[in-house]
Structure 1
Amino acid sequence: MRKKLFLLILSCLTTLGLSAQGRWFNDKDLTLTGVYYYPEHWDESEWDRDFKKMHDLGFEFTHFAEFAWAQLEPEEGKYDFAWLDKAVGLAAKYNLKVVMCTSTATPPVWLSRRYPEILIKEEDGTILDHGARQHASFASPLYRKLAYRMIEKLAEHYGNDSRIIGWQLDNEPAVQFDYNDSAEKAFREFLKKKYVNIKALNDAWGTAFWSEVYSSFDEITLPKRKQMFMNHHQILDYRRFAAAQTNDFLNEQSLLIKRYAKNQWVTTNYIPNYEEGHIGGSKSLDFQSYTRYMVYGDNEGIGRRGYRVGNPLRIAFANDFFRPVQGTYGVMELQPGQVNWGSINPQPLPGAVRLWLWSVFAGGSDFVCTYRFRQPLYGTEQYHYGIIGPDGVTVTPGGYEYSQFVNDIKELRKHYKPRQLMPKEYLARRTAILFNHENSWSIERQKQNATWNTLGHVEKYYKALKSFGAPVDFITEDKDFSAYPFMIAPAYQLADDELVSKWIKYVENGGNLILTCRTAQKDRFGRLPKAKFGAMLNRLTGNELDFYDLLLPNDPGKVVMDNKVYKWNTWGEIIKPAQQATVLAKYTDEFYEGAPAVTTRDLGKGSITYVGVDSQDGALEMDILKKIYPKNNVQILDLPFGVTMEYRNGLGIVLNYSDKPYQFDLPKEAKVLIGKPLIETAGVLVFSIAK
């Protein structure tokens, strides 16, 4: 009942225009900058010096108690907040607000030893143990009881403290694939609630296949995901259940804190594992936050030294995914320098840390925080850089770049304009990418081609949009489609007639919809409809899908569009188009040479384009989109990969992740505020735009 009442209040506030951004943050601040601190790691005699240094470097808030359950509750039922009170007081002395964290990622040893039944059990039978983190089961009622008791004490103590601006729940909470007894019991209850009777479950899971029929819910166990040919409908429900466990755990923490919190927001710091399915699922959070590390040994960057700068789309993608959930977002952990947990841990390129900060800001964030202030002297992360080195006084290169960013933001506050002020030509390119993690879950169990990559398929379209200088939102089906002139639904495998009808309405009312291969081929249970292959889309696209083909990666097929040839191998659908459709691309080889691969047609006031093939390098996807936007009289940019541009608060922000300088053509009447139009690698240009 309490949960329903809160959600009703939240809905009313949203209706009144009190978004998360407007309610919790002052737009005139542009963004706030903070840093993690662990008082329990350092002698109290050093705290005052450390907080003064934070203030001197320009930080505006700090972050406490993330992994401190053992210090907060040293014995079961006995609490000690005196040390934390002192740290909060010293932070306030230097005008630093505090984000308080629940410590549920690291249960104390007394809890693990006294109640071993709360420990996670992996699929192979391994039981996780004390000595690391995230070893307690979200499905354990006992663990939740003990965690909530500690959180309530913490919230009761600090919920009415004006020095505390907000709360972070847990730490990087992930979806647990937990096989302990509590999880199995909870899974059965989840299924009983969803299906009511066992016949409905058998029908949904197709258990008539291979003699899998169940006579009662008590016969069902957690699916062995590593077992070959395990029922993928069952695994689909298991993944829904697992995500729900994480979401419920966070929801209950949030609602508990809000019993006591006065004008304090609640969030958590997700790792942007978009396909796990839990991000955005905890509705009682005030907004979403994420963690992002850019340089850790991969080579997703551009050029020989790209591994020192990072993937140009890595932060942008996260911004565009997290922001639309509730209208604002923050970054709770952003890399301050060299890290310790990657395969190879190089130094970032000078300027890269500042580039990442501006990348977060460009997407519309309200705060950015870095992990951590001081490099630790012991523990798993000894080689993880901080703002300050291990001596406690020396500022690291990344520390100076954070300080530079803070000073730049303080200067830009003098040029404040409303967040919504953006050029018309920019807003005209506004595009939604419709995303549902369950499509990835379904495809992953039946990829049909080992080289298929669902998220990689999505990124081909996203990369093109960033080249166009288009503002992008990743949205879910409950959002208002009409807010976007363009919408892309990549590999949207699980669908129903209701969704197709919503797409038709969107197009008829003037929207431009791009659907791609593997879309609407299965129902929400992951079953093929009793119809011709792909028939769910026929009334929208006007096409019929004849069949699909898959090729070897070392012997790709070809499609041609406007006399340009593109290679493919992962997935290709052979289309029979409607008479009124225009064929954009055709196959040029195999036994279906000349068959259409891509079609488009007008429908009502809008258009529907169907891309039935997944190219190897994304060039086809880029060129298709280059046709659609100009056709609708929308101007697009042609930024090289590695250069991105966004607008917010009357500011244009251009970022260069590429390995060569880029000359940006400033709009008329624009005034350079930071940087130069010739942007060096890891450089930033910020300019004001005319009203």
Structure 2
Amino acid sequence: MKFYTLIVSCFFIFNGTAQNKFFSEDALTTVGAYYYPEHWDESQWNRDFKKMAEMGFEFTHFAEFAWAQLEPKEGVYDFAWLDRAVALAAKYNLKVIMCTSTATPPVWLVRKYPEVLKTNYEGTKEDHGSRQHPSFSNEFYRAYSLKMIGELAKHYGQDKRIIGWQLDNEPRSNVDYGQDAEKRFRQWLKDKYSNIKNLNKAWGTDFWSGTYTDFQQINLPNHLQWGMNLYQRLDHTRFCDNETATFLDDQARAIRKSSQNQWITSNYIPMYDVRYIGKSAELDFVSYTRYMVYGEDKGIGAKGYRLGNYLRIAMANDYFRSISKNYGVMELQPGQVNWGKINSQPLLGAVRLWLWNVFAGGSKFECAYRFRAPIYGYEQYHYGILSYDGVTPTPGGLEYQQFASDIKKLRKLYKGSAVPRIYKNRKTAILYDPDNAAAINQNKQTTEWDTEAHVLKYYGALKSFGAPVDFIKEDVDFSQYPILVVPAYQQIDEALVKKLQDYAQNGGNLIISCRTGHQDKQGHLWEAPFAQPIYDLIGSKIKFYDLLPPHAPDTVTAENKSFSWTSWGEILSPNKGTEVWGTYKGDFYEGNPAVVHRATGKGMVTYVGVDTQNGELEKSVLKKAFDKAGITIESYPPGVLVEYRDGFGIAMNYSDHPYTIKLPSDVRIIIGSREIATAGVLIWQTAAD
């Protein structure tokens, strides 16, 4: 269903119901920047907003950390300064995203009500002067925050200059050991399990005399205590995530009492083992934060650290887009940061590359953090669009300006959202549940295992094939995807096994990896041979699994090639008619299968029982599966990404060498050339397929 109301100056489209879209298709995307009026002398605001508009920005972002200015005393609100900032932004046709300030309560609040501060397990409270130090579990804080948010919404909820709301800032899982958190945890458990008998069964408390007779006996678990009940810990992480999700929902409901025509989102950090991301049912859509160069990744080549991991933005796009069809990037690095391990300068062109990478996934907006570089506070040395003088654009600022200009060029050429059929034919889903990842991560069995890295081996291969990818949940219709990858999906039930079997029987091509199907949905191993519920599905038994120390890797051989592994290997015993695609070499089970494949109905199932060190086996298995399915793929080198959206092709080069892309002769090149330099981008318009 589509309902569009055009707001000409910014191209934002919104409607009060979550079912409708909020953005004009022919606007493609829009560009904005954070601004903190409270950080700068008011005499500079007009100059700054004028410069922002001149550089091509279409919206700005206010009040994220401004609670102390919005409510300087308890119950006393001051919106006059913010009114003046909104008016000046509007003078230059800049729309505004308004924010709730719940990450930074004012000092008067935390001194009068110290119970609102988070308490760690040892009993020490966090203190004023930082951010994200209040507890979402503290009932007074939840209620008082909503009072402040309600006043803000009454003031701005009908203001057409305000296009939407961001709740909190980079909300985290609420881990607090205060009294309210413990009380709410006990109630959460009671709501989930109904009675203590059910909880004892789910947690397996007969083990080590852990049985409870009343919910009041249950404390918040110490995750550092050796041997602490795994399922109590797992439920505690679920509870902490739920506290964050429900607090965001409460904020959204408070805003909607006064606002019907403004969208509501929050800016999540892409973490793939937390459950509050996407769980807040009251958000209209999700947005995320992404930083690329901060000393965490070497990238590709000697200077790759100046560009970052080429899958970092791509995976966030594909993950968040699957949560809500609309998504945006609320914080995108404009240059050097101050808070990383090693705060290197990005490569010239890197910021522009990241912007196009975000756009390529379907983002509806890209927002720079921040417009002016701060000159005091914790984030000194953090770049902005403008440098410390508040006048001179930084290199990244100029790249944002160029991107905004290029988007306006694409808007004039937009003719629809058609993409090449060959691209659509590769459409692939990755079945992913953060609860599975969290469960594995707290019980890895080996220091060599990395859940996210395991998923990336499959994801990276798919992107090298030029495949569009969605991360999906179990309730999605699998049949819309020619290829379905199920990596390390530990917890299953009969319904999921049947759904996977039906998918393959009806023509789907299913690839499943190791660590799948070991447990039921309560996290218990089956009272049966290891992972038995998936035996019929994969056409093989699993004899046992092995884990190798880092100094003693072994190999798997497939198609006359050897692949090294250490972290996880399942030794398979295939049924008659199941093909063997790879075998172990180098230990007492040498010659036993590691990878098996079988046809079933109109489709196929491939099981990869090993996690290799560099992912090349996983890539070769995927390629073979695509070939058998008759799906044509590309072979892009690491660092090269190609996507399509809105009738445009976008090629990006994160590698350390130029790359020449082959394109049909009838495409129209709009930006760049077929030879794409490092940090380069090529944009072309596709012909109707």
Please say whether Structure 1 and Structure 2 have the same fold, judged by a TM-score greater than 0.5.
Answer: yes
Q: CA deviation at 1:21?
A: 9.4
Count of residue correspondences: 674
Alignment-derived partner of residue 287 in structure 1: 285
* Structure 1 residue identity aligned to 2:160: S
Q: Are 1:502 and 2:484 matched, yes or no?
A: no
Alignment-derived partner of residue 144 in structure 1: 142
Q: Are 1:560 and 2:531 matched, yes or no?
A: no
Alignment-derived partner of residue 519 in structure 1: 516
Alignment-derived partner of residue 571 in structure 1: 568
Return the alpha-carbon distance in structure 2 between the equivalents of residues 285 and 262 of structure 1.
13
Alignment-derived partner of residue 212 in structure 1: 210
* Structure 2 residue identity aligned to 1:626: K
* Structure 2 residue identity aligned to 1:303: G
Q: CA deviation at 1:455?
A: 0.7
Alignment-derived partner of residue 382 in structure 2: 384
**Which region of structure 1 is more displaced relative to structure 2, 273-282 or 407-416?**
273-282
Return the alpha-carbon distance in structure 2 between the equivalents of residues 352 and 466 of structure 1.
20
Q: CA deviation at 1:57?
A: 0.2
Q: Report the secondary structure of 1:276's partner residue.
A: coil
1:347/1:21 Cα in 2 relative to 1: closer, same or farther (>3 Å)?
Answer: farther
Return the alpha-carbon distance in structure 1 between the equivalents of residues 230 and 198 of structure 2.
16
Return the alpha-carbon distance in structure 2 between the equivalents of residues 341 and 555 of structure 1.
37
Alignment-derived partner of residue 3 in structure 1: none
Alignment-derived partner of residue 434 in structure 2: 437
Alignment-derived partner of residue 112 in structure 2: 114
Q: Are 1:46 and 2:51 matched, yes or no?
A: no
State the Cα deviation string for residues 40-78 of structure 1 (Å, max 9, x = none): 111111111110000000000000000000111111111
Runs of 4+ in 1 over 4 A off after TM superposition: 17-22
Identity %: 58
Q: Which runs of no fewer than 5 residues in structure 2 stay unpaired?
A: 1-14
Return the alpha-carbon distance in structure 1 between the equivalents of residues 424 and 291 of structure 2.
30
Alignment-derived partner of residue 72 in structure 1: 70
Return the alpha-carbon distance in structure 1 between the equivalents of residues 535 and 297 of structure 2.
42
Return the alpha-carbon distance in structure 2 between the equivalents of residues 281 and 142 of structure 1.
23
Q: CA deviation at 1:208?
A: 0.6
**Which region of structure 1 is more displaced relative to structure 2, 547-556 or 332-341?**
547-556
Return the alpha-carbon distance in structure 2 between the equivalents of residues 501 and 32 of structure 1.
43
TM-score (norm: length of structure 2): 0.97
State the Cα deviation string for residues 374-396 of structure 1 (Å, max 9, x = none): 11121111111111111111111
Preserved contact between residue 20 and residue 328 of structure 1 (Cα < 8 Å): no
Q: Report the secondary structure of 2:556's partner residue.
A: strand
State the Cα deviation string for residues 12-59 of structure 1 (Å, max 9, x = none): xxxxx9996962000101100000000111111111111000000000
Return the alpha-carbon distance in structure 2 between the equivalents of residues 667 and 545 of structure 1.
47
Preserved contact between residue 21 and residue 327 of structure 1 (Cα < 8 Å): no
1:412/1:21 Cα in 2 relative to 1: closer, same or farther (>3 Å)?
Answer: farther
Alignment-derived partner of residue 181 in structure 2: 183
* 1:685 maps to which of 659, 682, 685: 682
* Structure 2 residue identity aligned to 1:136: P
State the Cα deviation string for residues 179-204 of structure 1 (Å, max 9, x = none): 11111111100110111111111111
* 2:610 maps to which of 610, 613, 617: 613
Preserved contact between residue 651 and residue 681 of structure 2 (Cα < 8 Å): yes
Return the alpha-carbon distance in structure 1 between the equivalents of residues 453 and 657 of structure 2.
25
Q: Report the secondary structure of 1:447's partner residue.
A: coil
* Structure 1 residue identity aligned to 2:444: K
* 1:601 maps to which of 598, 609, 621: 598
Q: CA deviation at 1:283?
A: 1.2
Alignment-derived partner of residue 644 in structure 1: 641
Q: Report the secondary structure of 2:266's partner residue.
A: strand
Q: How does 1:76-225 map to 2 (within 5 A)?
A: 76-225=74-223
Q: Are 1:473 and 2:444 matched, yes or no?
A: no
* Structure 1 residue identity aligned to 2:617: L
Q: Report the secondary structure of 2:409's partner residue.
A: helix
Return the alpha-carbon distance in structure 2 between the equivalents of residues 343 and 21 of structure 1.
42
1:359/1:21 Cα in 2 relative to 1: closer, same or farther (>3 Å)?
Answer: farther
State the Cα deviation string for residues 538-561 of structure 1 (Å, max 9, x = none): 221121111111111211111111
Return the alpha-carbon distance in structure 1 between the equivalents of residues 475 and 256 of structure 2.
26
Q: How does 1:328-339 map to 2 (within 5 A)?
A: 328-339=326-337
Return the alpha-carbon distance in structure 2 between the equivalents of residues 329 and 21 of structure 1.
14
Q: How does 1:10-49 map to 2 (within 5 A)?
A: 23-49=21-47
Alignment-derived partner of residue 527 in structure 2: 530
* Structure 1 residue identity aligned to 2:276: H
State the Cα deviation string for residues 91-148 of structure 1 (Å, max 9, x = none): 0000000000001010000110010111101123221000000111011110011100
1:452/1:19 Cα in 2 relative to 1: closer, same or farther (>3 Å)?
Answer: farther
Q: CA deviation at 1:619?
A: 0.5
Q: Report the secondary structure of 1:234's partner residue.
A: helix
Q: How does 1:541-552 map to 2 (within 5 A)?
A: 541-552=538-549
* Structure 2 residue identity aligned to 1:634: I
Alignment-derived partner of residue 421 in structure 2: 424
Alignment-derived partner of residue 536 in structure 2: 539
State the Cα deviation string for residues 255-312 of structure 1 (Å, max 9, x = none): 2111211321000000111112211110111111000011112333111111111111
* 1:306 maps to which of 304, 307, 314: 304
Alignment-derived partner of residue 268 in structure 2: 270
Q: Report the secondary structure of 1:284's partner residue.
A: coil
Q: Are 1:584 and 2:581 matched, yes or no?
A: yes
Q: CA deviation at 1:443?
A: 1.4
* 1:673 maps to which of 661, 670, 673: 670
Alignment-derived partner of residue 7 in structure 2: none
Q: CA deviation at 1:177?
A: 1.7
Preserved contact between residue 548 and residue 567 of structure 2 (Cα < 8 Å): yes
1:493/1:253 Cα in 2 relative to 1: closer, same or farther (>3 Å)?
Answer: same
Return the alpha-carbon distance in structure 2 between the equivalents of residues 621 and 22 of structure 1.
39
* 1:483 maps to which of 455, 480, 484: 480
Alignment-derived partner of residue 620 in structure 2: 623
Preserved contact between residue 21 and residue 326 of structure 2 (Cα < 8 Å): no
Q: CA deviation at 1:479?
A: 1.4
Q: Report the secondary structure of 1:608's partner residue.
A: strand
Return the alpha-carbon distance in structure 2 between the equivalents of residues 348 and 445 of structure 1.
35
* 1:655 maps to which of 652, 669, 673: 652
Preserved contact between residue 272 and residue 437 of structure 2 (Cα < 8 Å): no
Return the alpha-carbon distance in structure 1 between the equivalents of residues 203 and 372 of structure 2.
52
State the Cα deviation string for residues 396-426 of structure 1 (Å, max 9, x = none): 111110000000000111111323x111110
Preserved contact between residue 328 and residue 365 of structure 1 (Cα < 8 Å): yes
* Structure 2 residue identity aligned to 1:509: N
Preserved contact between residue 16 and residue 261 of structure 2 (Cα < 8 Å): no
Preserved contact between residue 598 and residue 609 of structure 1 (Cα < 8 Å): yes
Alignment-derived partner of residue 391 in structure 2: 393
Preserved contact between residue 19 and residue 326 of structure 1 (Cα < 8 Å): no
Alignment-derived partner of residue 461 in structure 2: 464
* Structure 2 residue identity aligned to 1:99: I
* Structure 1 residue identity aligned to 2:687: A
Return the alpha-carbon distance in structure 1 between the equivalents of residues 239 and 139 of structure 2.
15
* 1:227 maps to which of 220, 225, 228: 225
Preserved contact between residue 20 and residue 326 of structure 1 (Cα < 8 Å): no
- After superposition, the CA RMSD in angstroms is 1.3
* 1:320 maps to which of 318, 321, 324: 318
1:198/1:85 Cα in 2 relative to 1: closer, same or farther (>3 Å)?
Answer: same
Return the alpha-carbon distance in structure 2 between the equivalents of residues 690 and 19 of structure 1.
35
Alignment-derived partner of residue 9 in structure 2: none
Preserved contact between residue 269 and residue 291 of structure 1 (Cα < 8 Å): yes
Preserved contact between residue 171 and residue 267 of structure 2 (Cα < 8 Å): yes
Return the alpha-carbon distance in structure 2 between the equivalents of residues 21 and 95 of structure 1.
28
